[in-house]
Amino acid sequence: MQHVVAIVVKGYPRLSETFIAQEILSLQRSGLRYRIVSLRRPTDKKTHPIHEQITAAVDYLPEYLYEAPIRVMRAWLLVRKRPGYKAARRAFFRDLFRDLTSNRVRRFGQALVMAAELPEEVTWIYAHFLHTPASVARYCAAIKGLPWSSSAHAKDIWTSPEWEKAEKLAHMEWLVTCTRTNVDHLRGLAETEDKVHLLYHGIDLARFPPRTGPRSSPGGPSPENPITILSVGRAVEKKGYDVLLEALAELPDEPSWRFVHVGGGFLLPALKAMARNLGLEDRVVWMGPRAQEELLTLYGEADLFVLASQIAGDGDRDGLPNVLMEAQSQSLACVATRVSAIPELIVDGETGVLAEPGDASGLADAMSRLLADSRLRQQLGEAGAERVRRLFSHDASIGLLAEKFGLARSRNVA
């Protein structure tokens, strides 16, 4: 049976979630009939070109219930006599008893609105992220009597309580997640292992064609033409930019280098102040958020890519950052940390270099070695590009979802 799917997301469109847009567009091209349900309206001032290709209707739920009391009350009046309403309400009160927060109330209110306004043609609900979007999907699915499923990524897994993950897994039909580390963890909470599937995000290689030509200038690095160290990521704790700045402060002055950061994030002011205090102000360029076509140019202009991911104090961590796959697709040598699934992508010493998370000196040593050796950068960059194209192509991974939604068979079930 080919399903009509409601895809529940935290916000749409979002610059930091191109992997979701990429997945949606691939499913659209595969013939999926769907609509997007967003828990909040967009806050980014820019969008990626991929968002312009997504043609589905987008339903925005009330982000805060007090802002739409009539809409919420009308929804409750419409759904309260549905056969599944009592089961959804029981699940909500069980959750609320264990986590007495306004967030829980908000998700149930959003589920009421979604259940009341969702077109009857929808036959499946699919949530991106196992925390709040999956809560709304679960309550709504119970009210409507629909099957539902979810994807799980990083923060949504590692900051959610075990009881909540286990209960959601018990009630959904299936779950896909983007790393082997995540699979092992979630299968340990599921009633049966076959409920959880590995689905690497992968990258759309058509949008990241192979890069050709040398990176280094014939005359070598100089103050006028320094080696460019690039990093792309939000300025949040789990990205480890404080550690990366400490590592940069340990680098020798020669060969000449500069550091370019791309991304937004609430820690940016603190990081800029830290860079000044470390004497790095003249060597660091803060570019802010950029659209993906600009990133492709920056990957091509850079000499080294660095990501210092770490586990945040609340347990949040990266899964398998798309920016690492994107950088490697452009034959850009990468230095990263041994966190979550990054070692599933980067083979230390063969397709990149890995350091321990939180180890500024180790990160500095890895960067220093690659700054001094352009041939090694080229070797690792080419090996990384080959591995990405062989194992992390988005086209190779999307088949599982297509099969789950009744579109096609897939050989990529893990």
Summarised one tens digit per residue, pLDDT across range 65-100 is 999 999 999 999 999 999 999 999 999 999 999 999
Structural contact between residues 124 and 4, judged by C-beta atoms closer than 8 angstroms: yes
User: For position 375, what pLDDT does the model report?
Assistant: 95
Q: Does domain 4-202+393-404 have CATH number 3.40.50.11260?
A: no
Q: Whole-angstrom Cα distance, residue 354 to residue 370?
A: 12
Per-residue pLDDT in tens (0 to 9) along the chain, 414 residues: 889 999 999 999 987 788 899 899 999 999 999 999 999 998 877 787 888 899 999 999 999 999 999 999 999 999 999 999 999 999 999 999 999 999 999 999 999 999 999 999 999 999 999 999 999 999 999 999 999 999 999 889 999 999 999 999 999 999 999 889 899 999 999 999 999 999 888 888 888 888 876 666 555 788 889 999 999 999 999 999 999 999 999 999 999 999 999 999 999 999 999 999 999 999 999 999 998 889 999 999 999 999 999 999 998 888 889 899 999 999 999 999 999 889 999 999 999 999 999 999 999 999 999 999 999 999 999 999 999 998 888 776 788 888 999 986 444 444
User: For position 396, what pLDDT does the model report?
Assistant: 65
* Domain ranges for the chain: 4-202+393-404, 227-391
Name the strands in the sheet holding 196-198, side by side, starting at the edge strand that comes first in the sequence. Answer: 58-60, 33-40, 4-11, 124-128, 148-152, 175-177, 196-198
Which H helix or E strand runs over 142?
Answer: helix 132-144
| DSSP helix/strand/coil, 288 | coil
User: For position 219, what pLDDT does the model report?
Assistant: 57
Q: Classify residue 354 by burial, with Cβ atoms within 10 Å: 0-12, 13-18, 19+.
A: buried
Geometric angle at alpha carbon 74, from 100 and 132, rounded to 5°: 35
The C-alpha torsion from 128 through 129 and 135 to 137, rounded to 10°, is 10
Structure tokens at 47: 């969008």
Indicate the DSSP class of residue 195: G
Structure tokens at 114: 């979604």
Q: Whole-angstrom Cα distance, residue 131 to residue 154?
A: 10
Classify domain 227-391 at the CATH class level: alpha beta
Structural contact between residues 160 and 115, judged by C-beta atoms closer than 8 angstroms: no
| DSSP helix/strand/coil, 263 | coil
229 bridge partner residues: 259, 304
Structural contact between residues 221 and 247, judged by C-beta atoms closer than 8 angstroms: no
Structural contact between residues 229 and 257, judged by C-beta atoms closer than 8 angstroms: yes
Q: Whole-angstrom Cα distance, residue 115 to residue 107?
A: 12
- List the one residue out of 287, 310, 8, 262 whose CA is nearest residue 131: 8
Amino acid letter for position 195: K
Please report, in angstroms and rounded to a whole number, the separation of the first and last CA atoms in the chain: 22
Q: Model-level pTM?
A: 0.76
User: For position 414, what pLDDT does the model report?
Assistant: 44
